[in-house]
A and B are shown apart, each in its own frame.
Chain A
Amino acid sequence: MMLAASMGSEPYLILGAILFTMGAVGLLVRRNALVMFMCVELMLNAVNLSFVALSRELDDLGGQIAVFFVLVVAAAEVVVGLGIIVSIFRRRQGATADDLSMLKG
């Protein structure tokens, strides 16, 4: 508790911001669907980190409850997303997102 008390939430928030930016940039620049997926996870967990940090600072359990929601939704998303990626692999050689542009206008 001493350690936690001595540190403010600032470092956590900075780390969360760095992780989020990494995820966002990775999502935009990478072509592999699997990697993009991991980037999305990274962004979600960066937000989770900010939630937990702020929850502690404000002494409000709401932030931690939000984290549980995000985890549940992320788990569901992983199931659906991986299912899609598997089916893409079955049809094509790789999982390059730019190849899947049949719905363009």
Chain B
Amino acid sequence: MLFQGFAASLELQNLFAAFVGVTLGTIAGVLPGIGISGTIALLLPISFGMDTLTALIMFSGIYYGAMYGGSTTSILVNVPGEGASVVTCLEGHQMAKKGRAGAALAVAAIGSFVAGTLGVVGITFFAPPLANAALAFGPPEYFSISLLGLVVLTNLSGKSPLRAFIMMLVGLMIGTVGIDPMTAINRFTFGSTQLAKGLDFIIIVMGLFGMGEVIATICERQTDIKVEKVKFRDLYPTITEIKRSIMPIFRGGFIGFFMGLIPGPSATISTFVSYALEKKISKHPEEWGHGAIEGVAGPESANNAASSSQMIPLLSLGIPFTSSAALLLSGFMIHGIQPGPMLVSSQPVLFWGLIASMYVGNVMCLILNLPLVGVFASLLRVPLNLLMPVVAVITFTGAYVLNYSLFDLGVLFVFGLLGYLFQKSGFEPAPLAIGAFLGPQLEQGLMQAMIICEGSLWNMMTRPLAGAMLWLTTLLVVGVLVKTLIKYMNSRRGLS
């Protein structure tokens, strides 16, 4: 049946639909503020009137194109188009500054393709049992995985754990601004209707990373700005870089695939987990923070694999766990497809055609974007005194398009100033970003978990999944404290 699905997917009109979907998805993904969900929502009407399988193939092209597009701006100009692209900024943009933008883009494309393909293979063979496992997650599990994610990711910024925790707590504080979803009480809004909506995570990261970089460049004297001359052979990765990327791609794909089964923002979390793992086991620790290729390969692969495995509960149970999956579900329903347990038996050609379309979309994304790596990387040849103002304008435009709010532009600029100040000091913005991102999910999970467990943390720690993650978190925190204490005592001994 899979071969029949492939046979149908490889017809000329379907290949053309994949090409159109990937192209439009990439363009929209490159534009900050749109994101995958926004891209799918905007391009959904184009599929009206199309044949069902053709429409499905276009959707998957849009999906993969949008994901790749988000990483392009992260690498080139440090503007993350969505949450899952934030980590790519950390190493990808540093590589771009060293004239290795092409290598970063190429590795991101290849890693995304490999991991995405592995993810689709996983869907093909393991969809039903994995979908049932995903249903085992409840509020205590959401809370514990958010907490584990926060602690793991806070260890990303290696210089000062204390400052990293402070930044993470500031991020959590930002996440509490607005109307509390559980009790509908205004918190820290000071009577402002704009603040009552909360502070959008995408605006915060666009400000911290994107605008921060723009302000830093504009504030530097032009003689201090070095423009890397990019030769043609530098546009693509070297053999060494490819070799170093292979295992991170597979590890990232594995992490992303299983994390993608967890409801919620698992694609973003998987990118940070992959980054933390690669940093921990890297044979080149001195490169981290300055453009380590593994820091691009792993997270981008994790992102794509997670995005593929998020399809498993959607296809097997008809339950979307993310907003982009919900939009895909609406697209399926418009074309008369009802995802769920009966889809495989009632419409096998359509089901396998859909699986095949994901392979096709993934391949088309690679075929389209790999040759364009040189074009994208060449953008950095534009003098920074012209490029950065353009980046500023595109960032403001993307920020406005998110919520159609001028208030968001002010927030963007304020966080841009903060991002610039963080660059000049020893405070890393990544923990703040992850705190702001995971904060709402952490709080909702905690509140519901405390009610379910009747206020007893011990009840939570004895649950199999939640307990395992909470114990692991406790060990990590104790480990960091002990390391810090030992370091402090050694420094005191050194002084005396």
Q: Do A and B bind each other?
A: no
Using a CB–CB cutoff of 8 Å, the interface residues on chain A facing chain B are none
Using a CB–CB cutoff of 8 Å, the interface residues on chain B facing chain A are none
